[in-house]
Amino acid sequence: MGKKILVTSALPYANGSIHLGHVLEAIQTDTWVRFQKLVGNECYFFCADDTHGTPIMIAAKKMGKTPEELIGEVQKEHYKDLTSFYVEYDNYYTTNSEENKTYSESIYLTLKKKGHITSRNIEQSFCEHDNMFLPDRFIKGTCPKCGAKDQYGDSCEVCGTSYSPKDLKDSHCALCGNTPVLKESKHLFFKLQDFQDKLKTWMETGNRLQEGAQKKLQEWFGSGLQEWDISRDGPYFGFAIPEEENKFFYVWLDAPIGYMASSSNFFKSEQKFNEFWKDGKGEIVHFIGKDILYFHGLFWPAMLMGSGFQTPEQLNVHGFLTVNGEKMSKSRGTFINASTFIRYLDPEHFRFYMACRLGNGMEDVDISFDDFVSRVNSDLIGNLVNLVSRVSTSILDKLDRKLGSLTPEGKSLLEDLLAKEDEIKDAYQNRNYSKVMREITSLGDKVNKYVNDYAPWNLIKTDAEKAREVVTVSSNCAKILFTYLAPVTPVISDEVRKLYNLDKLDFANIRKPLENITLAPYAMLSKRVEEKNIQAMIQDTKDAYEKAQKETKLETVKTEPAKEVTESGTITIDELAKVELRVGLIREANHVEGADKLLNVKVDLGEKGIKNVFAGIKASYAPEDLIGKKVVVVANLKPRQMKFGLSEAMLLASGKDKTLSLFVPDRNAEPGDLLK
């Protein structure tokens, strides 16, 4: 009886397209799942889109869509991109589901009942310009530990340290660039320290974590586990926290619960769900990147422990994907989206190359496209695919496509290949795919030498039966090799299965010989990689990046309120009606460091909120003279990203330099009043 295994890969966030870094993890997981099924284990593969948080809410607003509309569209795109690399999910779901809401609330309320939830007022970053508390990912600054710049408010992508946003140095709002202020708000916390001893035991039991991952987690234990802030203030796209007002679950609380929701949605049976998540009758295995180890290695198992669910049996952690030893870059054309890759190259070639590069450690996985071409064309096409095609086309046609019997010499060669079965299985099980690829290509070299030594293309002219013998032996060898390779190249292996008229190609029938049977017509298994396609893909990526940059610049330089002007230089009354003039009250004014003519002012537009404006009025106004002044503002101007920050409106003025005068409203106009 085989094992029962529930496998997940990390949930892609619904705020961007799938790129090759995502594909790396999906392929690593899918390969392992396919291997488990190939050896007869009952294995399920679940994933979902991670859909909650302020970034989704803001992105949807910019697009004029609801968050639900946006995440629905993105989920379809993500699923299409991932499955185009032959990643085969049992269920690809969403965290914005009833199942996820139910489990999130249940887990939270159980933890609360058991005393693992506490609350207190905290000082939190608040953007006065955007009038909202800033989530961690909307604060950027310098890492307090390693000094890396442009890091997010929750963790450093350079050194991996997690911290509070208020510990970030030189912090600024990622939306408008302004420095946030600290403001008190009640927050809820998960008492992670309650599980310190249990987590340590869990972490050190069996082969749950790689050595590198365990060492990384030990660092956090050394400094003592801290309480985890699990709430966010509204507005927030997510699940409302039960028994609280205007508080929402932090996205990282319900994201991993999405694994449970996806499996529940698939099983449709509480009994089957409980086998894995409650009763311990199956193993739970996660595949993740090293950047989210903290959440999966501490918070997630502690939440499960505290709420009566089973903890993961394995946490498999991989490194980042790099290109030519460097981070992927849009400007260099190496930050490649999955959909772009598919237009130019064979996804199964990428699966093969990733398998060649993936070990079972946490090291970064590097792509060299020169090496990609060499490995695919030499090892996959020239060695393994060619082994099938060279004996299954015209030679076999001349033999009525019939195989003969295996000779003692042939059986001996097959035994050499089968002797590696346990070693290859162990390497797959331990995710050491690069070792699997080395073994398979080495065996392929051995079989190709056998074929070359006998040269059946010559034998067919003088000794047809001897040629049949060689074809029979090499076909049986190919069957073994493509069974070994099936988790990595499922499509090619399936074509080999069809060629040999087999119901399946797996380890259960790997030793069953092909003798005295008729083979199906040969269908091309795969083509060589063309260098020109790689260059076209990289150029396409560069072009897309440059186009996006130009569009961004075009948007930021459009500062004139009326765009259409007639030949006479006049505008129509309809065009003028598009300009929204409002009364603004200047609440704050400051010099702009490094700017000769600009002042930075905050203008209160009543219900329209406070707008950030960079105005060229420094020659005629001192900042202190502007505070409290009512001015006329173009309120519906498209925001412009300037060197010093985002300018969201325009102050109307006449004159030049020292004679410049701001337009001020007559009578007792109030901030936000529309001028007609």
pLDDT of residue 133: 81
Mean pLDDT value across residues 543-553: 79
Provide the pLDDT confidence category of residue 621 given band limits of 50, 70 and 90.
confident
pTM (predicted TM-score): 0.79
Q: What is the pLDDT of residues 570-618, one digit of tens each?
A: 666 666 777 888 888 888 888 887 777 888 888 888 777 788 898 888 8
**Which segments are annotated as binding site?**
143, 146, 156, 159, 330
Residue 488: predicted pLDDT: 98
pLDDT tens track for 90-107: 999 999 999 999 999 999
Q: What is the mean pLDDT of residues 478-494?
A: 98
Residue 157 has pLDDT above 50, yes or no: yes
The more confidently predicted of residues 565 and 370 is 370
Report the pLDDT averaged over residues 18-35.
97
Q: Which domains does the chain have, with CATH numbers?
A: 4-104+248-327 (3.40.50.620), 118-198+211-247 (2.170.220.10), 366-557 (1.10.730.10), 573-662 (2.40.50.140)
- Residues making up the binding site for Zn(2+): 143, 146, 156, 159
Rounded to whole angstroms, the Cα distance separating 504 from 494 reads: 8
Identify the band that residue 641 occupies on the pLDDT scale cut at 50, 70 and 90. confident
Contact at 8 Å (CB) between 373 and 538?
Answer: no
Whether the Cβ atoms of residue 232 and residue 238 lie closer than 8 Å to each other: yes
| CA 458 centroid distance within chain | 52
Binding residue ranges for ATP:
330
Cβ–Cβ < 8 Å for 301, 204: no
The structure tokens 């490649």 sit at 336
Helix (H), strand (E) at residue 351: helix 347-357
Average pLDDT over residues 263-280: 97
Q: How confident is the model at residue 549 (pLDDT cuts 50, 70, 90)?
A: confident
The most confident of the ranges 151-165, 285-299, 598-612, 630-644 is 285-299
Residue 55 has a pLDDT of: 85
Q: What is the pLDDT of residue 628?
A: 79
Is residue 7 within 8 Å of 29, Cβ to Cβ? yes
Neighbours of 271 (CB within 10 A): 9
Q: What's the confidence (pLDDT) of residue 335?
A: 92
Q: How confident is the model at residue 569 (pLDDT cuts 50, 70, 90)?
A: low
Give the residue, 77 or 623, on which the prediction is more confident: 77
Closest to 291 (Cα-Cα) out of 211, 195, 198, 364: 364
Handedness of CA 154, 156, 160, 166 (dihedral sign): negative
Mean pLDDT on 142-160? 86
518 or 567, which is more confident? 518
Measured CA to CA, the distance from residue 281 to residue 354 in angstroms comes to: 32
42-56 residue pLDDT tens: 999 999 999 999 889
Q: What is the mean pLDDT of the chain?
A: 90
Cα dist. 375→31, 360, 438, 487 in Å?
19, 20, 11, 18
> Which of the four pLDDT bands, split at 50, 70 and 90, describes residue 623?
confident
Query: pLDDT higher for 557 or 338?
Result: 338
- For residue 135, give every residue at least 6 positions away whose Cβ sits within 8 Å of its Cβ, in sequence order, or none: 53, 54, 55, 153, 232, 236
Q: What is the pLDDT of residue 676?
A: 65
* Nearest residue to 21 via CA among 33, 10, 32, 36: 10
